[in-house]
């Protein structure tokens, strides 16, 4: 009877290891998709995403093949660390990049909570039966619930696509020029760099949905400070709101610019295409 019960327990643990490996593969897959579709162009963040993908896949193979509490623990800590990095990028930004709430982020966060809880439980189950092991299993369950709660709170407070009523970027529609690294760039009234999107046309913005959470449109009809000779205008967005344009380019700010004089979005290939700061001649 004892041997049969142990065999059944080992069978369930094998299935649990395969499920844990699958969760690690899933979070690695989400990060690989994000890396290939634009995150690779973000300084530092791109390399971190690639490292996450490689580590997730390697740990998934190790968890599936090795019945080791150390490997399961490594997988659990990896999932928790990945989740922590995501939460930091939402709350305060990470290496100059500030994340917003997206479907991919929600999916990855939930997967990472599940991976931590499952793999940590597997590691705890391999300890000798004792009161200490029981307390550890309870601690793992509590940490999983706390992680899920923190993740839910982060999603509730994270930035989303702005509405037209919010008037997009800080400072409204007044446009100015600012020297930035020896070049003149277009900014809003508060000095935040303005950008144009390579996929836009003179009459249509192709940044919609979650894209606008990263690149808030500048809403309204623009007015220029003295010294700006570019052509001012506006287009009607798909939702009906007016978006300011300069020399035929619909204008945006970038969520990763946290202070006037920054241009962290310049040259990024993300959300479907290249983004450029608006250069001002003269």
Using CA of residue 259, residue 159, residue 247, residue 232, what is the dihedral sign? Answer: negative
Neighbours of 186 (CB within 10 A): 25
> How would DSSP label each residue in 166-219?
GTSSTTTTEEEEEEETTEEEEEETT--B-EEETT--SS-----TTHHHHS-B-B
pLDDT of residue 6: 55
Q: What is the pLDDT of residues 130-175, one digit of tens each?
A: 555 555 555 555 555 555 555 555 555 554 444 433 434 444 578 9
Residue 259: what are its φ and ψ, rounded to 5°? -150, 155
Half-sphere exposure of 196 (CA within 13 A, CB side): 18
Confidence of residue 127 (pLDDT cuts 50, 70, 90): low
pLDDT for res 192: 93
At residue 193, φ and ψ (nearest 5 deg) are -60, 140
Q: Do residues 221 and 244 touch, judged by C-beta distance below 8 A? A: yes
Q: How many residues does the chain have?
A: 282
**Residue 239: its pLDDT value, please?**
82
Using the 8-state DSSP alphabet, how is residue 162 labeled?
P
CB atoms near residue 255 (< 10 Å): 20
pLDDT digits (tens, 9 = 90+) for 32-70: 988 887 777 777 888 999 999 999 999 999 999 998 888
Which residues have a Cβ under 8 Å from the Cβ of 31 and sit 6 or more positions away?
A: 49, 52, 53, 56, 82, 108
Split at pLDDT 50, 70, 90, the class of 212 is confident
* Mean pLDDT, residues 96-125 taken together: 82
- Asked if pLDDT for residue 5 goes beyond 90, the answer is no
In angstroms, the first-to-last Cα distance of the chain is 87
| Residue predicted with more confidence, 140 or 21 | 21
Nearest to 241 by CA among 214, 211, 221, 213: 221
Following DSSP, what letter does each residue of 98-161 receive, concatenated?
-----HHHHHHHHHHHHHHHHHHHHHHHTSPSSHHHHHHHHHHHHHHHHHHHHHHHHHHHS--P
- Name, in order, each residue with C-beta under 8 angstroms of 21's C-beta and a sequence gap of 6 or more: 60, 61, 63, 64
Could you tell me the pLDDT band of residue 276, with boundaries at 50, 70 and 90?
Answer: very high
Facing residues of 188 across strands? 175
What number of other Cβ atoms are within 10 A of residue 150's Cβ?
Answer: 15
The average pLDDT across 163-192 equals 72
| 186 within 8 A of 175, measured Cβ to Cβ | yes
Pull the structure tokens for residue 270: 């993300």
- In the structure, what pLDDT confidence band is assigned to residue 28 with cuts at 50, 70 and 90? very high
Tell me what the pLDDT averaged over the chain comes to: 80
């Amino acid at each position: 009877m004892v041997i049969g019960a142990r065999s059944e327990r080992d069978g369930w643990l094998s299935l649990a290891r395969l499920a844990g490996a699958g969760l690690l593969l899933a979070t690695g897959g989400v990060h690989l998709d994000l890396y290939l579709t634009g995150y690779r162009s973000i300084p530092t963040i791109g390399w971190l995403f690639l490292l996450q993908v490689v580590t997730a896949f390697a740990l998934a193979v190790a968890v599936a093949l090795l019945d080791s509490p150390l490997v399961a623990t490594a997988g659990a800590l990896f999932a928790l660390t990945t989740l922590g990095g995501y939460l930091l990028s939402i709350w305060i930004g990470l290496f100059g990049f500030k994340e917003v709430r997206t479907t991919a982020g929600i999916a990855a966060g939930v997967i990472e909570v599940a991976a931590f809880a499952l793999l940590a439980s597997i590691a705890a189950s391999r300890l000798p039966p004792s009161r200490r092991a029981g307390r550890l299993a309870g601690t793992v369950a509590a940490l999983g619930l706390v992680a899920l709660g923190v993740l839910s709170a982060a999603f509730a407070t994270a930035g989303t696509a702005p509405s037209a009523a919010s008037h997009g970027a800080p400072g409204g529609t007044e446009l100015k020029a600012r020297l930035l690294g020896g070049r003149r760039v277009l900014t809003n009234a508060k000095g935040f760099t303005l950008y144009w999107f390579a996929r836009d046309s003179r009459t249509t913005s192709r940044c919609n949905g979650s894209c606008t959470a990263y690149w808030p449109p500048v809403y309204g009809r623009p007015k220029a400070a003295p010294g700006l000779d570019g052509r001012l205008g506006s287009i009607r967005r798909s939702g009906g709101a007016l978006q300011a344009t300069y020399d035929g380019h619909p204008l945006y700010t970038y969520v990763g610019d946290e202070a006037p004089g920054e241009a962290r979005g310049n040259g990024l290939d993300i959300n479907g295409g290249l983004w450029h700061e608006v250069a001002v001649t003269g």
